[in-house]
Amino acid sequence: MKVAGEARSAAVVINTGSRRGATASHQAVQRMREAGVPVTAVHHIRSGAELPGTLDRVVADGHDLLVVGGGDGTVSYAAGLVAGTDVVLGILPLGTANDLARTLEIPGNLAQACAAVAHGKVVDIDLGRANGRPFLNVASVGLSVRVTEALSPGLKRRLGPLAYGIATLRSYARHEPFAALLEFPGGDHEPMQLENLLQVAVGNGRHYGGGNTVSPTAGIDDHTLDIYAILAAPLREHVKIARLLRDGSFVRHERVYHVTSRHVRLVTEPPMSVNLDGEIAVVTPTDFTIERNAVHVVVPQASTSAMFDGVRAPGGPLA
């Protein structure tokens, strides 16, 4: 399939618990049908708990286009389910941050996003795995986990992306520095034992946290993971780093370690929770790997975020 119009059957799954899911769901389906998307099944879910069973049924029904509306966590789960198959993923960014849509240059406007599904092109993108669990944007340990815990649904609905800034300020005051060991099973880097850390992150995509950039060179189609570790420091230093988050140039700051790899193992003592695209999903020790060109996804015709080369990693994830 090169465009969505070639699909035989499309299923639409919308998380009405996402920030804009409830208000946009019926309009989205109508717009896609009017644009020629062959929608034959529509499922509305109210929470992430309903997502696994619903998506399992949809994939088993044999649709070749799956359109998912919701936030980054919802889309990441769906991507993990269809990874390695010929099912094409369409995305309606209905969450708070919508960082994957930003990476793929999918419009936040609902009508334009539906048009992108109907008339866009199919590309293939990489998928990150953390102990087997999928992520598309960033996996992280440290401050970001506290931020996720502080991000209540009500706060996200009221403030949108600004909620991330409020939650970060609340979490920063309670953060306790930690130590971590980074190991590289592929042998491309020596192990890194780091102390007094604010955060460790592993990026597959380009954007995270409501528009921040993983690094100036990060991309979701580059077949590598961007790994960075930020050292704890006085508040004034973190303010300087925060000013550089939008374009990713913070990775050049003297208190930031940054490397790229296809496989990294993160060990902390004691074990710590890991945030995967806004969902706290696994704990350390964690193996992070990348699956090359794992997911076929529809993007706008003008998007330069990825291309279709059809070459997947033989035998599963690259390591």
**Using 50, 70 and 90 to split pLDDT, how confident is the model at 315?**
very low
pLDDT of residue 317: 45
133-290 has the same fold as 4-125+294-299: no
pLDDT of residue 48: 76
**Using 50, 70 and 90 to split pLDDT, how confident is the model at 318?**
very low
**CATH class, 4-125+294-299 region:** alpha beta
pLDDT of residue 295: 97
Per-residue pLDDT at 298 exceeds 70? yes
Average pLDDT, the chain: 89
Domain assignments of the chain as residue spans, ordered by start: 4-125+294-299, 133-290
pLDDT of residue 146: 79
Nearest-angstrom CA–CA distance, 131 and 141: 14
- Regarding beta strands 121-130 and 88-93, do their DSSP bridges make them parallel or antiparallel, or are they unpaired? unpaired
Mean pLDDT of 11-30: 82
Nearest-angstrom CA–CA distance, 204 and 227: 9
Report yes or no: 219 and 305 within 8 Å, Cβ to Cβ.
yes
Mean pLDDT of 222-250: 93
Q: Which residues pair with 68 in a beta bridge?
A: 13, 91
pLDDT of residue 169: 67
Q: Identify the H or E element spanning 43.
A: strand 39-45
Q: How far is CA 220 from CA 2, 102, 205, in A?
A: 19, 11, 4
Mean pLDDT of 171-194: 91
Which positions are annotated as active-site residues?
279
Nearest alpha-carbon partner for 22 in 77, 79, 70: 70
pLDDT of residue 316: 47
Report yes or no: 220 and 103 within 8 Å, Cβ to Cβ.
yes
Question: To the nearest 10°, the Cα dihedral for 220, 276, 163, 216?
Answer: -30
Nearest-angstrom CA–CA distance, 24 and 276: 25
215-241 burial, b at 16+ Cβ within 10 Å, e below that, comes to: beebbbbbbbbbbbbbbbbeeebbeeb
pLDDT (tens digit per residue) in 94-147: 988 899 999 999 999 999 999 999 999 999 999 999 999 999 999 999 988 877
Per-residue pLDDT at 157 exceeds 70? no
CATH architecture of 133-290: Sandwich (2.60)
pTM value surpassing 0.95: no
